[in-house]
Structure 1
Amino acid sequence: MNHQATASNGQFRAADPVKFRSRPWAATLILVGGLIALAFGVAVSVSFGAADIKLSVVWTAVFHFNPDLTDHQIIRELRLPRVLGAVMVGASFAVAGAIMQGMTRNPLADSGLMGINSGAGFALAVCFAFFPHLSFMYLILYSFIGAGMGAGIVYGIGSLSTGGLTPARLVLAGAAFSALLSALSEGVALYFNIGQDLAFWYAGGVAGTKWFQLQIMFPWFAGALICAFILSRSITMLSLGEDIAKGLGQRTGLVKLAGALIVLILAGSSVSVVGAVGFIGLIIPHLTRYLVGVDYKWIIPCSAVLGSLLAVSADLTARMIVPGQETPFGAIIALIGVPFFLYLARKERREL
């Protein structure tokens, strides 16, 4: 009798994989340990630079700021916004990738591979060319529009192929369209002589991050993260399959629309600050799922912490390669991301 009741309860059956393949204890360890490591990484990153500053001075500058001291000025005006920018964009790209992979059940989904980053970058190129005096708030809004345009066209192209929209076809469409948009952006930069203005976004880095940029980005960032946490249960259901999600009463169309908006906000605002940095949203969600299981209630916050930690570590490593010079931290992440992408693509080769 009990067995029949269990078997007839579709919700129980669907929830079992989530229940038994999730590891809340591991997620708790990652959140606690990751936040501690992130705090330490932020402190070290703020102290390291052309002028090395002691951690005690960093503490004093943050909590007892003295504008008359040069070290305090360096920390407050240059290094803190840079490091906090890395924290925010790392979390944004990681959560955006996790949502995309969960909603589409595509292990290769990432804002950098799906045309979102390149779409936002193209929108920025157009803004620099035709509206050079736009405020940063409008740059973020145009980044959202460009990101949405890029994602929409990539999904449209992928859907037109014979056999439907598969992960491999989606990535191929994204790579092709991203290359096209990058070429168009470079053409706009050359024609309008704005290459120097766009060089920072092409390279991908947080060196020029300012407080006013973070102040504008933060409400979007915080709101999108909160919405992602709220949506986490629905994304978990979608990750099990759309039929299962519908059987559990999920309004899958509405969930996908909300998830897409969250991804566009997170990726678009991040590109407007640091440029088209890729692979954070590809690497971190896979690592997080391996560690904590398939429940997005844990995947999303853990991805945010690990994404921030990766971005801060990459930025610190980039500054240590050639002391006194800037190496884009996007290049450091790509050194990890490209082999990881090739490994995943090989696993999906049967769909090609």
Structure 2
Amino acid sequence: MAGILDSVNQRTQLVGENRLELLLFKLNGRQRFGINVFKVREVMPCPRLTLLPKQDSFIKGVAHIRGQTISVIDLSLSTGGRAIEQTAESYIIIAEYNRSVQGFLVAGVERIVTLSWADVMPPPEGAGKSSYLTAVTEIDGQMVSILDVEKILNEISPVSTEVSEDIIDVSIGENLGDKLVMIADDSTVARNQVRRALEPLGINMVLAKNGRDALEQLLAIEATCENCITEKVALMISDIEMPEMDGYTLTAEVKGNDRMSKMPIILHTSLSGVFNNAMVEKVGAEDFIPKFHPDELATAVKKWLKIED
């Protein structure tokens, strides 16, 4: 398992082609789960864990790895399952989300698979708001669940969505009038975080659950009048990882459409890696903001709406 991610940097050509690589793993039971390889730093057998006083019940302990102290989250327990008891026989997936590094305790790690985002579907409608799924796909005839890690992390350590007083300005929305800002993200938690961060600016927003949904909404708006889309939608903020159509592909589709190409796009994602800036330039997005800092996001929105402080 030590070398499972050695060639991650050679895989960046997949990004922007609506493709991804999933690291498959199991919790308690036979159900398979997946996590995007680009969010994974390392996979290793679970080291000895240190317990902390009054730690969250979902935190199994902390591990000291390569000079860094990392909290290890029991991924089964945090999603409503049974706790993983045999830590000595388990693994931790060290991943980076929202500018911080976490360890996820899993029962077993299988392999990396390559697939298209077009083959990754939103969770079933009956899953409900309490579901921890952000997407599902099928591999080897079995369903693989992709967890909404942002929701899990937010329940353990809620992210602040408050914007600093010196950035708040409701006149921004007044100047925009009826123009909209579109938010595309497959995580309900992430969509709501962005929405709450921008509400103090007085902006009207429309939400999309993935890239395909966002594109379909934009095309429907554009169809209501001739060459009017940028007069109706002033800006789009899009996640990168989304089922059916990722943010890079969505951006390329918008920028490749003469009627929509002038719409500013901010890519807003928990993905980490040096490839991001290159991919932002390649697909033509105006900006890239790592999740999640409300002041940075609000400042970028004001910038691309060409509204000065």
Class of the TM-score when normalised by the shorter of the 2 chains:
under 0.3
Larger-gyration structure (1/2): 1
Normalised by the length of structure 1, the TM-score is: 0.24
Normalised by the length of structure 2, the TM-score is: 0.26
Q: Which has the higher contact order (CA 8 A, sep 6+)?
A: 1
Query: Where is the strand percentage greater, Structure 1 or Structure 2?
Result: 2
